[in-house]
Amino acid sequence: MKLKICGMKYADNMIEVAKLQPDYLGFIFYNKSARFFDSIIPKLPNTIKKTGVFVNATISDILNKINVHQLDAVQLHGDESPEFCKTLRDAEINSRSHQIEIIKVFSIKNEFDFSILESFEDVCDYYLFDTKGKLPGGNGYTFNWKVLKNYPFTKPFFLSGGIGIEEVEALNSFFKTQESKYCFAIDVNSKFELEPGLKDIELLKEFKSQL
């Protein structure tokens, strides 16, 4: 199971988190977020995919951030359409030798109409299922994972939304169920923070050791 640690903000903290060898690190380019990233990403191991998180940004802004920060993946957390995703996927990325991964986010609470995903099937690489709340992300609580029993596709997805150390037992139980079959990665953020954007290294270590 892959691990994505999102909401990175401070360079020294990023370097320490990177030592834990997560598969993805997320940087939020949404200025209304407490974890808004407006700095320079330090040199990180090539094994870690730098992921830019955007909420209803323009194509040009996303392409600019990809090039400035040499991003490997883009997470779309707003109302982006299938056409938007296709345009982004088809765009020429300057000085890139590989295609950018596109992760499209959908928010869930107690139910979800999975038919709306059909038009996204060919224009993104992964889905990310987060908790529906007041904010685009980082609401701090989980959704009902049993909803994923009705997931009708084979596209791999990230499981997100309020996952913390307290959810380890529930996660390990989830991994034994049919609904986890296409779960590609776990996405964590606010439950592992000392303050917004500053990750608790020891808590992350403990989390990784228990999965």
Question: What are the domain boundaries of the chain?
Answer: 2-210
Record the tokens describing residue 80, joined without a space. 């982006």
Assigned fold of 2-210: TIM Barrel (3.20.20)
Query: What confidence score (pLDDT) does residue 93 get?
Result: 57
Measure CA 3 to chain center.
Answer: 9
For residues 161 and 130, the answer to whether their CB atoms sit within 8 Å is: yes
CA distances from 85 to 22, 94, 104, 105, 185 (A): 26, 18, 8, 12, 21
Read off the pLDDT band of 166 (50, 70, 90): very high
Query: What confidence score (pLDDT) does residue 95 get?
Result: 44
For residues 192 and 199, the answer to whether their CB atoms sit within 8 Å is: yes
Read off the pLDDT band of 94 (50, 70, 90): very low
Query: What confidence score (pLDDT) does residue 72 get?
Result: 95
| Percent of all residues in the chain with a pLDDT value above 70, rounded to a whole number | 93
Per-residue pLDDT tens digits for 55-74 = 999 999 999 999 999 999 99
Per-residue pLDDT tens digits for 127-141 = 999 997 665 555 567
For residues 109 and 132, the answer to whether their CB atoms sit within 8 Å is: yes
d(CA 189, CA 178): 25
Instruction: Note the pTM of the prediction, 2 decimals.
Output: 0.93
Measure CA 37 to chain center.
Answer: 15
| Overall average pLDDT of the 182-210 stretch | 97
Query: What confidence score (pLDDT) does residue 136 get?
Result: 54
**Burial group, residue 114, by CB count within 10 angstroms (0-12, 13-18, 19+):** middle
Per-residue pLDDT tens digits for 108-160 = 988 999 999 999 999 999 999 999 766 555 556 799 999 999 999 999 999 99
Query: What confidence score (pLDDT) does residue 60 get?
Result: 95
